Chains A and B, each alone.
Chain A
Amino acid sequence: MKHPIDYSEYVRRLYHNENPNISSCRNVTFVVTEACDLRCTYCYEAHKCAKYMTFDVAKKIVDLIFKLSETDDSEFINTKTKAVILDFIGGEPLLNIKVIAQTCDYFWHKALELHHRWADTFRISMISNGVNYFKPDVQEFIKKYHNRLSFGITIDGDKDMHDACRIHPDGSGSWEEANAAQMHYHEHYGDTLSTKVTIAPENLEHLDKIIKFFIENGYTEIFANPVYEVEWTVEQSKIYYEKLKHIADYIIDNGLKDKVFISLFDNNLFKPIPEEEQHPYCGGTGDMCAFGTDGKAYPCLRYMELSLNGSQPEICIGNCERGIYQTESEKAILDDMASVTRRSSTTDECYYCPIASGCGNCSAWSYQKHGTYNKKDVGICWMHRARSLANAYYYHKIKEDFTLNLQKEFALQIVDESEYNELLKG
């Protein structure tokens, strides 16, 4: 399976030889609306309401990031920032397509007039539920920007699985609209069919069917991860292991090893992380910036009230008028976030974990749950352990190198001793 590279990695690859000091790419998130036309059962944005970003606010954000790009006063964006990704999210972003289109036009014209490096390198990113995809102004936007646009439509699997959770306010499913939009986009703009599957307790039992559905429908890049906001149990990890084995068998039996990328299998992961690697997994501690509909700035969308739902105070780091990390309290937040390392945010057990690589977390979820982003939540542990076992199963079966580093005492809670011994052999 060839690992697809994201745009940030791509820019780094292109320009690394020219200038090894470039910070290749930064994501600037515009929450263009908090409104959504679906009522998905698992959505973490519980505070959805009819707030929309105006073009005036979006324009100020664009002006701010261009200003930041001219000096080295900001760690986030500065003279070394080779590219930016304008990430439009919601709610459902396409509900505010007019402002998205105006913002992109304004950004590109400004970059061209300034002869700015971003005229060549900027990208637009958006993930939609697909409901508004066929509206004329959406189609016009996609047609105009498709060369610079990374556009995804969320589909949870086949019609039954999708419609069980992704529903309209009247309870009806949205699969037909989402699937039609995805197929149209693929047919007209020739992108690789790609999707991201969020694994939740509700769909864990169907994981193998979901992956199979996508493969059978022509998807060749399937990203998947269990949600962080769950305290996964050993019982659920046993189910996960069995489902991953089914997926592994399906890939092997159908000769799909080199045709389909599934992020759940990766033989570069499940190893200890070297001491020198201290950057935290999640970029939500200073590597990103999200602007709310009113122009207030946050380290990530997940630090907004929209996501925190009153569980913690939101963390605001400035606004589009005066900039980010300007006041003493904002500078203190930046310093505190910059001090978060892998060592500072993990227990010894986690830090020295023999399968630490690839074990993800969300810093804002840590903040929401524990009151601090400087504490890696361990709710995902059992799922990561099960995944390491399933990777041993898969890579040994296709006769590729894989060392099973998971501690025996954990492995034996998921599989029996004879299966464990088989997985060790390779």
Chain B
Amino acid sequence: MKEVVKINSEDSNLIERKFYEHAAGKDNVAFLMHDKDIAWETLQHYIDVVESRFFELEKTKERLSKKYEPKEFVGKSYNYSFDFNDESITYEMA
């Protein structure tokens, strides 16, 4: 069973931004680790940034997936994915 639920632009925008910033943080860490002489202090700062962005992203995903959860999926085990262009969440029974 699969259901596509439209979400409001503000929520879609928010979650897209969280994904984008988390990915950008990971790029920053990868770049610093590529250096011959690693700047450990800077690297640690950006590892912390990525970690906090990851928790922010997961929290926001969880909150929005619950906010738009279709009735038939309540209490069931399911997967979900975001489509930013379509401003929607696709729910699929596990």
Contacts and interface: CB of A to CB of B under 8 A. Distances in A.
Interface of A: 2, 13-18, 108, 112-113, 115, 119-121, 144, 147-148
B56 interface: no
Contacts of A112: 28, 31-32, 42, 46
A121 B24 contact: yes
A90 to B, nearest CB: 25
A347 B28 CA distance: 50
A148 B25 CA distance: 12
Interface in B53-94: 85
A14 B13 CA distance: 6
B53 to A, nearest CB: 10
Contacts of B5: none
Contacts of B39: 113
Interface of B: 10, 13-14, 16-17, 20-21, 23-25, 27-28, 31-32, 34, 39, 42, 45-46, 85
Contact of B42 (A13, A113, A120, A144): A113
Q: List the 4 shortest-distance A-B pairs measured between CB atoms, nearest first.
A: A120-B24, A14-B17, A147-B27, A17-B13
A295 B10 CA distance: 42
Nearest to B42: A112
Contact of B31 (A14, A18, A108): A108
B27 A15 contact: no
Contacts, number: 35
29 contacts: A2-B85, A13-B13, A13-B16, A14-B13, A14-B16, A14-B17, A14-B20, A15-B17, A16-B13, A17-B10, A17-B13, A17-B14, A18-B17, A108-B28, A108-B31, A112-B32, A112-B42, A112-B46, A113-B42, A115-B45, A119-B24, A119-B28, A120-B21, A120-B28, A121-B24, A144-B31, A144-B34, A147-B23, A147-B27
A14 B85 CA distance: 12
Contacts of A13: 13, 16
A13 B15 CA distance: 12
A16 B17 CA distance: 11
A120 B23 CA distance: 9
Contacts of A119: 24, 28
Contacts of B42: 112-113
Contacts of B23: 147
Contacts of A121: 24
A112 B20 CA distance: 17
Question: Which of A2, A112, A148 gathers most chain B CB within 10 Å?
Answer: A112
Contacts of B24: 119-121
B9 to A, nearest CB: 8
A148 B27 contact: yes
Nearest to A15: B17
A119 B42 CA distance: 12
Contacts of A16: 13
A112 B30 CA distance: 12
A150 to B, nearest CB: 14
Contacts of B20: 14
A120 B14 CA distance: 16
B92 to A, nearest CB: 23
